[in-house]
């Protein structure tokens, strides 16, 4: 017995495919059998399993559990849940050795996938390729694992609420927040959470519906925040928070309806955290604004620019002992008083806490930030075989550049006008570009530099493509 996966599903950070085309029950079964075998080889045997609200998720969960138990692993089923609930089950239970969440995250409804944790660390990159190799070779353990179930919702919510501990109750009672679950898996947890929070809270779309009837659950796309903006405006709320489909990425708007992007949220979190942890290392990905790195330094922290990708960021946090990290995509990781995984519900509560402790409204905190001018994330198609080669060509051409060139992840070039970035996506056949300046004229010059580098590599920026 063996199983070969469609090569497109074994990705850098997770396993993901289209139901009925590149991903199905046989794949889920093989993932369970192989992951379980890999865990058993390390002397471990208990795996927590959760799934999101997509129509295909219960089917995949059933097959995954079959595979895990066939390898000899015991399974703790936490049921339909947001991804951070699965992470919580894995991190908070000493008897759990690994975790798998079935989720399509922010992808269209016909997609689904698997996010994995292996003995407390992210399972990605070479791990996923090895899983594919072992499955194709049929190198599987045999056994008969047991299955039990656990409802962790109340325990998980209770843990999140502790983020407000030690803050004067009067500061919190007047807070007024809007929340948009986007019909994603975080909905039921959000309803329980707001019932336990001080202040006034208004929620949207908490009913889990894998067809996402109201809007697509990706809070990094501004058009998906329209309903939240209307709610905050109609109710004159202090700010609003939105989640992606599985609740590990946060989006936010202030009381005036302005988007607070991922790097801007990290500026708020960092200012708050550095008051009690001066000198701490704060990590952000290469797409983040210069304003963030400057702000961290001004608040007494050590800013560190790192590669894009939630698994890569988590690994760097462990390596450096960083208590806080984040990405433009809305993944935020707290390891000061929390577990270091990305949890949008916890991040939402930490935004309330930061505003209270800093003594400024979220709207004021957003207004205090430098008004940088930047492009959105520009993504454009390039042949898979060319994407990394093209970046290498750009890097070589810039070797003698008078400007500072950072090669952490692609090329990020600092010039008197600001900075521009060009990197290869790890998950799609696209190149990603971004630029930021103090002036519109400067931004045009930066974008022209990107275009020139693409031209020299016989590529064109052309139309930007979606996620």
Kindly report, residue by residue over 34-50, the tens digit of the pLDDT: 999 999 999 999 999 99
Domain 15-152: give its CATH code.
3.40.120.10
H/E run at residue 265: helix 262-274
Q: Where in the chain is the domain with CATH 3.30.310.50?
A: 373-456
Q: Which pLDDT score is estimated for 461?
A: 64
Q: Looking at the chain, how many residues does it have? A: 467
Mean pLDDT, the chain, integer: 95
* Phi, psi for 23 (deg, rounded to 5): -145, 135
H/E run at residue 412: strand 411-415
What's the pTM?
0.94
Percentage of the chain beyond pLDDT 90 is: 90
Task: Reduce the DSSP state of residue 247 to 3 states and report it.
Answer: coil
* Residues taking part in catalysis: 105
**Residue range 233-240: mean pLDDT, rounded:** 98
Q: Which pLDDT score is estimated for 102?
A: 98
Q: Which pLDDT score is estimated for 384?
A: 84
Question: CA–CA separation, 387 vs 58, rounded Å?
Answer: 36
Question: CA–CA separation, 221 vs 467, rounded Å?
Answer: 10
Question: CA–CA separation, 69 vs 75, rounded Å?
Answer: 7
CATH homologous superfamily of domain 373-456?
A: Alpha-D-phosphohexomutase, C-terminal domain (3.30.310.50)
**CATH classification for the domain delimited by 168-367, as one of 3.90.1010.10, 3.40.120.10, 3.90.1150.10, 3.40.718.10:** 3.40.120.10
State the Cα angle at 466 between 461 and 467, rounded to 5°: 120
What is the layout of strands, in order, in the sheet containing 200-204?
Answer: 200-204, 176-180, 239-243, 250-254, 259-260
Q: Is the pLDDT of residue 465 over 80?
A: no
Q: Which pLDDT score is estimated for 462?
A: 54
**Residue range 348-356: mean pLDDT, rounded:** 98
Confidence class for position 457, pLDDT limits 50, 70, 90? very high
Task: Reduce the DSSP state of residue 44 to 3 states and report it.
Answer: coil
H/E run at residue 53: none
Q: Where in the chain is the domain with CATH 3.40.120.10?
A: 15-152, 168-367
Instruction: Give the tens place of pLDDT for each residue, 254-311.
Output: 999 999 999 999 999 999 999 999 999 999 999 999 999 999 999 999 999 999 988 8
Q: Is the pLDDT of residue 183 over 60?
A: yes
Q: Is the pLDDT of residue 389 over 70?
A: yes
Among the ranges given (66-80, 101-115, 149-163, 261-275), the one the predictor scored with the smallest mean pLDDT? 101-115
Task: Reduce the DSSP state of residue 341 to 3 states and report it.
Answer: coil
Q: Which pLDDT score is estimated for 463?
A: 47
Question: CA–CA separation, 4 vs 30, rounded Å?
Answer: 9
Q: Which neighbouring-strand residues pair with 259? A: 253
Contact 9, 26 (CB under 8 A): no
Q: Is the pLDDT of residue 139 over 80?
A: yes
């Amino acid at each position: 017995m063996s199983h070969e996966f469609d090569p497109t599903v074994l990705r850098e950070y997770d396993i993901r495919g289209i139901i009925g085309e590149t991903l199905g029950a046989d794949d889920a079964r093989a993932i369970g059998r192989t992951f379980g075998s890999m865990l058993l080889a390390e002397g471990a045997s208990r795996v927590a399993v959760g799934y999101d609200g997509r129509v295909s998720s219960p089917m995949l969960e059933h097959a995954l559990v079959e595979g895990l138990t066939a390898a000899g692993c015991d399974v703790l089923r936490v049921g339909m849940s947001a991804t951070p609930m699965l992470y919580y089950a894995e991190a908070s239970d000493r008897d759990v050795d690994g975790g798998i969440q079935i989720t399509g995250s922010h992808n269209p409804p016909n997609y689904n996938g698997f996010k994995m944790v292996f003995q407390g660390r992210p399972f990605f990159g070479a791990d996923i390729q090895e899983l594919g190799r072992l499955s194709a070779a049929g190198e599987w353990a045999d056994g008969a694992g047991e299955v039990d179930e656990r409802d962790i919702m109340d325990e998980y919510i209770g843990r999140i609420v502790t983020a407000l501990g030690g803050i004067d109750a009067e500061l919190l009672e007047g807070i007024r927040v809007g929340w948009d679950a986007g019909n994603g898996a975080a909905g039921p947890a959000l309803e329980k959470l707001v019932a336990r929070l001080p202040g006034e809270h208004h929620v949207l779309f908490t009913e889990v519906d894998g067809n996402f009837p109201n809007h697509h659950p990706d809070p990094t796309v501004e058009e998906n925040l329209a309903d939240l903006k209307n709610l905050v405006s109609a109710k004159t709320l202090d700010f609003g928070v939105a989640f992606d489909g599985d609740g590990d990425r946060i989006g936010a708007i202030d009381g005036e309806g302005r988007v607070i992007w991922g790097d801007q949220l990290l500026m708020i979190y960092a200012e708050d955290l550095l008051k009690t942890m001066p000198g701490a290392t704060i990590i952000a990905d290469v797409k983040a604004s210069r304003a963030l790195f400057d702000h961290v330094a001004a608040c007494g922290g050590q800013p560190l620019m790192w590669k894009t990708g939630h698994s890569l960021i988590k690994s760097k946090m462990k390596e450096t002992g960083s208590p806080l990290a984040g990405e433009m995509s809305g993944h935020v990781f707290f390891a000061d008083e929390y577990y270091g995984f990305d949890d949008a519900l916890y991040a939402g509560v930490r935004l309330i806490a930061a505003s209270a402790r800093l003594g400024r409204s979220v709207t004021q905190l957003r207004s205090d930030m430098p008004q940088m001018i930047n492009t959105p994330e520009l993504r454009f198609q390039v042949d898979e075989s060319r994407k990394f080669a093209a970046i290498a060509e750009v890097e070589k051409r810039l070797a003698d550049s008078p400007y500072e060139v950072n090669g952490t992840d692609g090329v990020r070039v600092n010039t008197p006008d600001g900075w521009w970035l060009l990197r290869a996506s790890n998950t799609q056949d696209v190149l990603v570009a971004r630029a930021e300046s103090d002036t519109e004229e400067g931004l045009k010059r930066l974008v022209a530099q990107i275009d020139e580098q693409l031209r020299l590599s016989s590529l064109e920026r052309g139309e930007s493509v979606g996620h």
